[in-house]
Amino acid sequence: MEEQELAGGVANAGSVVRVGEQVLRPSNPQSRVIHRFLRALREEGFEGASLPVGIDESGRERLVFIEGDVAVPPYPDWAQSDAALSSIAVLMAAFHEASRAFDPSGLTWSAEMADPVGGPIVCHNDVCLENVVFREGVAVGLVDFDFAAPGRPVYDLAAFARMCVPIDDDVSAARLGWHPADRPARLRLIADAYGLDAPGRVQLGEALADSIARGGEFVRLRVEAGDPNFLAMWNDMGGMERFDRRRRWWAEHEDRFANALR
Ligand SMILES: Nc1ncnc2c1ncn2[C@@H]1O[C@H](COP(=O)(O)OP(=O)(O)O)[C@@H](O)[C@H]1O
Ligand SMILES: [Mg+2]
């Protein structure tokens, strides 16, 4: 059967293909553990994540293709809507709930995007629009669990908010096609749709500040390791200056986000 390339990612750009009802992508040392986790989500009744088929003789992982729409830059208007954003938050709440049943201890996970303080449940850690499948504007599926690792749900939410509100300076946001929006209000929408309580909102604000403070480290390490896809992205975006610009922007605006979460 013919291989059809699927666009959207950086890490495996050009190497993710659809063949019939399956997605084939490179596996990594964590793939088997991730598949165990994804199967456990199904057993909990959660159907909003990729379902693994296995790892084939060529070393590629196979997943069931999730029918629907995935937004890639420049992001279309429907993917920038408040309804789309809150539907992802609702999906993440159900995902985290199902994840609680899985014990991640004693297993090896990616450390690259993981919550630095660790945590009790396996989180996705890379919920950007490219990793969410929508149907009729509603988020129905999470894909790309390569960076899944134990952490706090608020850290997962912070990464999602950073990429999908987005919480970013105007130059970087515009590069991906984001239109101007009331971004503090969109952060609040995430907390509301997810059902975050008052202490959780404080923790979300802190996790956000932390992830912005450490922004760029993951990409820099991949560049130093010689990953050509990340090197191209790094040069394209202007290296660490892209993340420094966001840090300056955050320092000027963080009060507005904190107020929106109160
Ligand atoms: N199970 C799936 N169902 C539907 N589409 C998928 C699935 N897995 C990946 N895709 C599509 O392929 C693109 C790239 O795959 P992804 O797993 O995110 O790779 P990368 O590691 O490069 O980000 C995604 O943005 C999405 O559009
Ligand atoms: Mg991806």
Number of domains in the chain: 2
- What is the number of alpha carbons within 13 Å of residue 197 lying toward its C-beta? 1
For residues 52 and 99, state if they share a domain: no
Calculate how far, in angstroms, residue 141's C-alpha sits from the geometric centre of ligand 2: 12
For residues 202 and 104, state if they share a domain: yes
CB atoms < 10 A from the CB of 103, how many? 12
Calculate how far, in angstroms, residue 200's C-alpha sits from the geometric centre of ligand 1: 30
Measured between alpha carbons, how far is 149 from 118 in angstroms, rounded to an integer? 8
For residues 153 and 246, state if they share a domain: yes
Q: 70 pLDDT band (50/70/90 cuts)?
A: very high
Asked if residue 71 is part of any domain, the answer here is no
* Average pLDDT across the chain, whole number: 97
Q: Is the CB of 65 inside a 6 Å radius of any atom of ligand 1?
A: yes
**Cβ–Cβ under 8 Å, residues 139 and 49:** no
pTM for the model stands at 0.97
CATH number of the CATH domain containing 110: 3.90.1200.10
Residue nearest to atom 25 of ligand 1 (CA): 8
For residues 203 and 128, state if they share a domain: yes
Q: 37 pLDDT band (50/70/90 cuts)?
A: very high
For residues 235 and 160, state if they share a domain: yes
Asked if residue 52 is part of any domain, the answer here is yes
**Cβ–Cβ under 8 Å, residues 86 and 7:** no
In the chain, DSSP finds a helix count (H) and a strand count (E) of: 9, 9
CB atoms < 10 A from the CB of 130, how many? 19
Q: Is the CB of 50 inside a 6 Å radius of any atom of ligand 1?
A: yes
For residues 182 and 105, state if they share a domain: yes
Q: Return the pLDDT at 207.
A: 98
Q: Is 90 exceeded by the pLDDT of residue 226?
A: yes
**Cα–Cα–Cα angle for 127, 131, 135, rounded to 5 degrees:** 110
Calculate how far, in angstroms, residue 131's C-alpha sits from the geometric centre of ligand 1: 6
**Cβ–Cβ under 8 Å, residues 160 and 92:** yes
Task: Give pLDDT tens digits for 112-165.
Answer: 999 999 999 999 999 999 999 999 999 999 999 999 999 999 999 999 999 999
For residues 15 and 126, state if they share a domain: no
- Residue 11: C-alpha distances to residues 109, 152, 166, 177, 222 (Å): 17, 24, 21, 21, 10
Q: Return the pLDDT at 196.
A: 98
Calculate how far, in angstroms, residue 126's C-alpha sits from the geometric centre of ligand 2: 8
In sign, the C-alpha dihedral spanning 120, 131, 57, 22 is: positive
25: containing domain: 4-64
Q: Is 90 exceeded by the pLDDT of residue 1?
A: no
Asked if residue 168 is part of any domain, the answer here is yes
Asked if residue 72 is part of any domain, the answer here is no
Ligand at shortest distance from the CA of 142: 1
Structure tokens at 38: 């994804």
52-55 vs 60-64, strand pairing mode? antiparallel
